[in-house]
Amino acid sequence: MHFYNDATLLAAGHALSALLQFHRLIFLVFGVVVGLAIGLLPGIGGLTGFALLVPFTYTMDPYAAFAMLLGMASVITTSDVIPAVLFGVPGHAASQATVLDGLPMTKRGEAARALSACYTSSLLGGLIGAVILAFSLPLVQPFVLSIGTPEMLALTIFGVSMVSALSGNAPLRGVVAACFGILVGMVGTNVATGQMRWTGDILYLQDGIPLVPIILGIFALPELCDLAIRRAAIAENVQFSSRQGMRQGVIDTFRNWFLVLRCGALGSVLGAVPGITGAVTDWIAYGHALQTSKGAKQSFTTGDVRGVIAPEAANNAREGGSLVPMLSFGVPGGAAQAILLSAMMVHGFIPGPDMLTKHLDLTYSMVWSIALANIFGAGLCFLLSGQFAKISTLRYTLILPVIMPIIYVGAFQGSRSWGDLFVLLIAGLAGWTMKRLKWARPPLILGLVLGVLMERYMSISFVRYGMDWLRRPVVTVLLILAALVFFKPLFKLVRGGGLARLRPSGKIVLKLEDLVYVLFIVIGLYMLVTSQGWLLMARIGPTVVASILVIAGTISLAYKVFVIPAQVRLAHAGDGIHMDVASDHGEKLPNKVVLMRAAKFFGWFLAFLACMSLIGMIPTVPLMIVTYMRIEGRESWRLSLILAVCVTVFLYAVFDQIIHIPWPDSFLGQSFPALAVGGA
């Protein structure tokens, strides 16, 4: 305690006074503004932000340089909730779970309340992360040194076990979707052996399928497609005025202070584990809230404010936790942190004991930077959110033409090739089909994110430790927790099905929705068979996962087709939960109309791609916006042209002039490069 009372407190006080000087504070605020802007753009993550800002920091004062960089990184997950809550479009992988309850709240007319709860919980989570970072730095060395690949493997297994919590009352469906996600994540070159897996002769697949276009396709396109099918504003009845909604969101967050505290601590701990990204943290926090909150299983995914509070608190707290291994040992948690580490080294600071002794002032200036950035970021979002919430009341012909081009550009950041846009289309069709047929999408994404990590950690653990890795205490505890979480819904299913009986042979009917099982089982069998000729280390993972997919899919399909569930379970069918955002047009529109309008939506998508392949991205945007608004909404020429010009100028200024990203190749760009702005 003497250490904390003297050296640490003195360093913390000195760091705060240094950071509050105007010339440093202004750089912190600038970083916050850049971070908030990046958070609003789907697919443009912290890596882009660091790449933009780091070159300017080399001649800056170290306090100001790291204040600006951490200010930017700390608030990206604060503003990325705006597209997630308003449109169901995750700004980044870390805001996927927020969609599940945020979008239903918007549809109820509670957008301001949802956004306010997000900002308040983000602020408190960020402060919790900063506090935990401040107190853990001097004590963290033994903990971080004890984390090896076996512990990280056990943690990823625990993360996948959350699938059962995210699959509602169809746990085996969740297992099937998660296994499919893991297998998709295995496509590409196996790191351990160099084996090409399911790549064919397609160069695009050799580096694996990027996460960004899949996330936008699975989550964003289905919500926008449903908006086009409904042909109405997202929120038709506003429950609160902007001011009332903002106040209610703050009240909701403080009323659930213990949930914020738990999820903030959880996010900090997960952030300290290298490789555990925000895409994992938010689902684990959401699953924790679902399992521990009173009445959550009846209200989550229908617009429960706790469903946005939990993941947002964890995500912002994660930023503080992720600095622990980087400052203590120079171990970055990801590519963005690696850039931050390189900036530190350019300024002459080497991570390790010196950061906790000789340069303790600078270390605590980073802690204060995170805390102040969260305060500034939440404050700015509060000021603007009243206006953002009003977007949900606009008609769909004003929203879709603006959002869709941004999604195309965001998806293109996956690997910056045309393959990203085709993956976006395929994932969008798959996501809409899963949503329509009530297949939960979160397990697929969680499997996709964790599958690659799990296979990598498993290979290293077996090579280095053999079977002894199972005897490590932390591994044992995490595996037991994973088993309890995973098998709990299965036990309930078996217990509730005690009175189940087989259907009479004449009443066995295979419905159209059951063909999804058949498709997954066929894909699993194909992947299982084709992987058997590979090298041992390359085929172990696919063999295990594909086998589980086939077995779980077959059992679940057989149960659905051949078994009449117990009357006890039918009477309490409402006790379950479909862990996804439900389609809200099925009751109002005939299936034929729904399918026709969905086909029309994806037809516009294909038309955009075709036009872009000919004349390039930038010329296509205004052309398609005007065409869509005139045909779909009978909007006036004046409004259509104004909106088209504004969106095009925004895309060109931000992505071409500021971020300097390449555009998709086009025929015009290749034939007449001097004439094509949109060609790469």
pLDDT in tens, 93-122: 667 788 888 888 888 888 888 888 988 898
- The DSSP bridge pattern shows strands 563-564 and 196-197 to be unpaired
Listed residue (87, 56, 90, 97) closest to 76, CA to CA: 90
Where residue 318 falls among pLDDT bands split at 50, 70, 90?
Answer: confident
Where residue 622 falls among pLDDT bands split at 50, 70, 90?
Answer: very high
Range with the lowest mean pLDDT among 414-418, 419-423, 599-603? 414-418
Range with the lowest mean pLDDT among 6-15, 230-239, 392-401, 479-488? 230-239
pLDDT in tens, 126-166: 888 888 877 776 676 566 666 777 887 887 888 777 766 66
CA-CA distance, 317 to 123, in Å (whole number)? 9
> Could you tell me which residues come within 8 angstroms of residue 576 by beta carbon, excluding any fewer than 6 positions away?
168, 169, 170, 297
Residue type, position 449, single letter: V
* pLDDT of amino acid 550: 92
Chain center to CA of 242: 27
* pLDDT of amino acid 645: 93
281 in Cβ contact with 312 (< 8 Å): no
* pLDDT of amino acid 334: 65
More confident residue, 494 or 178: 178
φ/ψ bin of 109: left (φ > 0), alpha (ψ from -120 to 50), beta (otherwise): left
> Could you tell me which residues come within 8 angstroms of residue 443 by beta carbon, excluding any fewer than 6 positions away?
163, 166, 167, 174, 175, 177, 178, 181
Chain center to CA of 670: 35
* pLDDT of amino acid 569: 42
CA-CA distance, 500 to 520, in Å (whole number)? 26
CA-CA distance, 249 to 383, in Å (whole number)? 14
266 in Cβ contact with 314 (< 8 Å): yes
> What is the distance in angstroms between the CA of the first residue and the CA of the last residue of the chain?
59
CA distances from 332 to 65, 143, 342, 677 (A): 18, 16, 10, 37
Residue type, position 558, single letter: A
H or E element at residue 501: strand 501-502
Q: Which two tokens stand for residue 630?
A: 């005139």
Paired with 564 in beta bridges are 501
Residue type, position 96, single letter: Q
Residue range 263-288: mean pLDDT, rounded: 80
Q: Which pTM does this prediction carry?
A: 0.79
Q: Where are the domains of the chain?
A: 2-162+240-406+459-498, 591-671
Q: What does R_g of the chain's alpha carbons equal in angstroms?
A: 25
Paired with 563 in beta bridges are 502
Listed residue (218, 233, 117, 192) closest to 449, CA to CA: 218
Q: Where are the alpha helices (DSSP H) in 437-497?
A: 442-465, 473-496
Nearest 5°: the CA angle 468, 473, 477 is 115
* pLDDT of amino acid 670: 54
375 in Cβ contact with 75 (< 8 Å): no
pLDDT in tens, 336-372: 677 777 788 778 887 766 777 777 788 888 888 888 8
Question: With 0-12 CB in 10 A as exposed, 13-18 as middle and 19+ as buried, what is 258?
Answer: exposed
Residue range 248-261: mean pLDDT, rounded: 90
305 in Cβ contact with 252 (< 8 Å): yes
> Could you tell me which residues come within 8 angstroms of residue 588 by beta carbon, excluding any fewer than 6 positions away?
230
* pLDDT of amino acid 417: 86
327 in Cβ contact with 349 (< 8 Å): no
pLDDT in tens, 215-228: 888 888 888 888 88
Instruction: Give yes or no for residue 629 having a pLDDT over 50.
Output: yes
Range with the lowest mean pLDDT among 192-201, 258-267, 364-373, 389-398? 389-398
